[in-house]
Amino acid sequence: MNRLVVVSNRVPTPGGGAQAGGLAVALAGLMEQRGGVWFGWSGDISNDHSVKSHQDGNVQYATIDLSQSEHDRYYNEFSNSTLWPLLHSMPELMSFDRRNASVYRAVNERMASSLAPLLRPNDMLWIHDYHLMAMPAMLRARGVTAPIGFFLHIPFPSPDMLASVPEAGALIRDLVAADLIGFQTQNDVENFAEAAHRLAGATRLTGGWLHVDGRRVRLGAFPVEIEAREFAATAEHAWRAAPTERLRRSLQGQKLVLGVDRLDPTKGLIQRLSGYRRLLETRPDWRRRVTFLQIAAESRKDVSAYRVLREAVDREAGAINSEWSEPDWTPLRIVARAGARSTMAGYMREARVGLVTPLRDGMNLVAKEYIAAQDPQDPGVLILSRFAGAAKQLGSALIVNPHDADELADALDTALRMSLSERQERWLSCWRAIEGATPVVWGRTFLATLLRVGSGAPANTVSGPKVVPEVVRQRNVFPG
């Protein structure tokens, strides 16, 4: 069996605490089961250029530190203030500076040159996410011939949007040095194929292939999955445990509306609060009968857009509470810390409504977790943004436009009033969409495809591999 080498900016090193989000949830089980090398940033800032290696079970964690200026320009600036808003189609939040782009390239170069000596002849490489888009070409330039797969966890925008960043063409040309490039949805695949055509001169072939620079690259949609059955069991258990018990008591019979997100401009938190405000304004019936709990786990605090957002969310939350609270009722509770994943599972099962309304999201695993957490006999209702990748699979949720406060208020009202039979029907259809899949199956499907395309198999022999679901251990991590 080929040794698997996973490369990602964040590496969930054992004992490193809650840090790595959706990416770690998706990959941890696969790595535990299959073993291999997990390479990336240590999470530490220093001028030390050495590779630190640490074996835990059958996984070797190999990491490098970043210097302060690398962290600022590569992570805070180019990755999170240029690429993140660009790829989420939010150009109004984007800033661009050539110096940041060149430090991004330099960090990708350093990652490639630190990793190359660790590789063995039978390795297969799987690079993750927008921080490392230049790495495939940089590894090839160092003579690496192993199959290289790349997976983008966040959306890919239209080529017109992409063109607003001068560096975009170079990044696409670097990326197509991979053998397989995976996305969350077919829409992302289409956008990428068109961008590769316009910016890298690629020609589209049938069967998901691109022809570029005299070679073929395979594209595909691989929607990230959760361990639904295991999450359901966790939620059932957590629902009876102390944290959910305390929350339930504090509600005094009110219906719970729940949001669980990282505090991120893409998550539509301000718009969500406006929707809730509109509900309270236009449907006085719900006052005193509902509580909205928003977990908004603070993240990327060094990036100014995130600090500005925190202030705006606090202001809007304060305004809602001062306007609508009564001495013995508070309509909104907001918590800016991440909680244990199992605690969130219990809260999700308690919530009559799960509010997942990002302005744009690659997938959004919280939407899938909310479905998995429900009691099949008495399920809650998922309100889901049409701009989340998950909406492609969870079409029986109440699908909304997150920008429209009236639509959000209508959906909240509908969800809170929904009959048991309709709740059961909608929930069952969503559950069926996620129950069979697991992150391990997702990972194996990607890797099996990579092995076929990376070993030169013709396009028409690439088909879905046979995979066996297996149970994955869950970790406490930030919501994606």
Mind telling me the catalytic residues? 153, 361
Site for ligand F6P in 433-462 (CB under 6 A): none
Residue 436 corresponds to which tokens in the numbers above?
């069979």
How far apart CA 287 and CA 324 sit, in angstroms, is 8
Q: Tokens at residue 208, please? A: 């998901």
Contact 193, 219 (CB under 8 A): yes
Q: In this structure, what is the dihedral angle of CA atoms 338, 224, 162, 176, given to the nearest 10 degrees?
A: 130
CB of 180 to ligand F6P, least distance (A): 19
Which residue has its beta carbon closest to ligand F6P? 21
Q: Does 480 bind ligand F6P (CB under 6 A)?
A: yes
Contact between residue 249 and residue 344 where contact means Cβ atoms under 8 Å apart: no
85 lines the binding site for ligand F6P (CB under 6 A): no
> Binding residues for ligand F6P, how many (CB under 6 A)?
11
CB atoms < 10 A from the CB of 175, how many?
24
Stretch that binds ligand F6P, among 20-28, 205-213, 432-440, 446-454 (CB under 6 A): 20-28
What is the closest distance, in whole angstroms, from the C-beta atom of residue 307 to ligand F6P in the complex? 15
What is the number of alpha carbons within 13 Å of residue 266 lying toward its C-beta?
A: 26
Q: How many other C-beta atoms are found inside a 10 Å radius of the C-beta of residue 199?
A: 18
188 binds ligand F6P (CB under 6 A): no
Least Cβ distance, residue 22 to ligand F6P (angstroms): 4
Residue 131 or 426: which CB sits closer to ligand F6P?
131
Q: Determine if 129 is a binding residue for ligand F6P (CB under 6 A).
A: yes
* Binding window for ligand F6P (CB under 6 A); candidates: 15-23, 41-49, 85-93, 282-290: 15-23
Pick from 343, 418, 425, 411: which is nearest to 376 by CA? 425
Please identify, using beta-carbon distances, which residue of 278 and 300 lies nearer to ligand F6P: 300
Q: How far is the CB of 195 from ligand F6P (least distance, A)?
A: 19
Binding residue for ligand F6P, selected from 2, 10, 357, 454, defined by CB under 6 A: 10
Alpha carbons 78 and 265: distance in angstroms, whole number: 16
In the chain, the amino acid numbered 443 is: G
Burial of 370 (0-12, 13-18, 19+ CB in 10 A): buried
Select 21 or 182, whichever has its Cβ closest to ligand F6P: 21
184 touching ligand F6P, by CB under 6 A = no
User: Is the Cβ–Cβ distance between 392 and 223 less than 8 Å?
Assistant: yes
Pure H helices in 294-419: 304-324, 341-350, 365-373, 405-417
What distances in angstroms separate CA 192 from CA 49, 73, 283, 337, one per listed residue? 34, 25, 44, 35
Burial class (CB in 10 A: 0-12, 13-18, 19+), 399: middle
Closest approach, Cβ 207 to ligand F6P, in A, equals 28
The residue among 59, 41, 55 whose CA lies nearest residue 115 is 41
13 binds ligand F6P (CB under 6 A): no
Looking at 16-24, 33-41, 350-358, 388-396, which segment touches ligand F6P (CB under 6 A)? 16-24
Residue range at the interface with ligand F6P (CB under 6 A); choices 19-27, 38-46, 118-126, 250-258: 19-27
Give the bridge partners for 355, in sequence order: 383
Angstrom distance (rounded) from CA 344 to CA 353: 14
Q: How far is the CB of 103 from ligand F6P (least distance, A)?
A: 17
Q: How far is the CB of 427 from ligand F6P (least distance, A)?
A: 25
Q: Is residue 296 classed as helix, strand or coil in its secondary structure?
A: strand
Q: Which two tokens stand for residue 61?
A: 């964690």
H/E run at residue 290: strand 290-297
The strand order across the sheet containing 123-128 reads: 52-56, 59-66, 36-45, 3-10, 123-128, 148-151, 180-183, 215-221, 209-212, 203-204
The residue from 34, 71, 153, 218 that contacts ligand F6P (CB under 6 A) is 153
State the nearest-atom distance from the C-beta of 25 to ligand F6P, in Å. 8
Q: Which of 4, 5, 21, 81 binds ligand F6P (CB under 6 A)?
A: 21
The region of 21-29, 51-59, 162-170, 334-342 touching ligand F6P under the rule CB under 6 A is: 21-29
Residue 22 in contact with ligand F6P, rule: CB under 6 A: yes
**Residues making up the chain, counted from first to last:** 480
Based on the shown chain and the rule CB under 6 A, indicate whether residue 71 belongs to the binding site for ligand F6P.
no
CB nearer to ligand F6P: pick between 84 and 209: 84
Residue 154 touches ligand F6P, criterion: CB under 6 A:
yes
Interaction of residue 223 with ligand F6P, rule CB under 6 A: no
- Taking CB under 6 A as the criterion, the residue among 7, 11, 23, 359 binding ligand F6P is 23
**Cβ-based nearer residue to ligand F6P, 23 or 177:** 23
Site for ligand F6P in 291-320 (CB under 6 A): 299-300
Site for ligand F6P in 319-338 (CB under 6 A): none
- Rounded CA-CA distance 18/341 in Å is 10
Min dist CB 23 to ligand F6P, Å, is: 3
Per DSSP, 319 falls in state: H
Binding site for ligand F6P (CB under 6 A): 10, 21-23, 129, 153-154, 299-300, 478, 480
